[in-house]
Amino acid sequence: LLQSAVQVPDIRILYGPDTYMGHNLQTLFDVILQSPDWTDAKIKADLHPHHSNKSLLKLRENLIVFPQGNCIVHHMFGAQVVQTVRESYYDDCFMTAHLEVPGEMFEIAMEKSLIDQGVVGSTSDILSFITRKVQDVAQTQPTTLQRLKFVLGTEAGMVTSIVQSVQRILQETGSKHVEAEIIFPVSSDAVMATTDDDS
């Protein structure tokens, strides 16, 4: 989107089919545009070298999201899950959210990202964030147990790469007192019940 808006300044983007991702991009732009921390210099350095508040505002105004359509994998994060995350995990966990999760889950991670306690983005962005947080603590060589908790707002398929990354960091640093816990909250509707009835 950012590059398209640079190449075609008056571009009008009709975003689909993933409504969640489209609305989350709108939210991301809104947060950046409303935050005094996101100066033109920070936008150029951290987001895109050819953008400013003015160009992002124009892009945001020209971003239209189709109202229906979602990613079935990310649809399992809903209001019930978000309420549980806020009540049980928000204060002592890092929050992560893929761009395609429903808005409520995205907003939690976005809130925490503003204080470097969370991340929103691609699976690669999420993995980089978790890796950085574990590495930061492991390099301090703590003498008491440090358990880092991450709420994973994306598909469970990421867990293997996260585990491998954390194990590599702990092995390289020789840290024996750092643990990383991955919390994967999903709606009860996404869990299939089984019976013990063999007959």
- Across 22-26, 80-84, 142-146, 195-199, the highest mean pLDDT is recorded for 142-146
β-bridge partners, 121: 98
Q: What is the pLDDT of residue 123?
A: 87
Q: Residues 71-130: pLDDT tens digits?
A: 555 455 566 777 888 888 889 999 998 887 777 788 889 889 989 999 998 888 999 999
- Across 48-62, 87-101, 141-155, the highest mean pLDDT is recorded for 48-62
Pick 74 or 161 by higher pLDDT. Answer: 161
Whether 191 shows a pLDDT value over 50: the answer reads no
Q: Which of 11-20, 50-59, 68-77 has the lowest mean pLDDT?
A: 68-77
Within 13 Å and on the Cβ side, how many CA atoms surround 77?
31
Whether 199 shows a pLDDT value over 90: the answer reads no
Q: What is the pLDDT of residue 50?
A: 95
Whether 14 shows a pLDDT value over 50: the answer reads yes
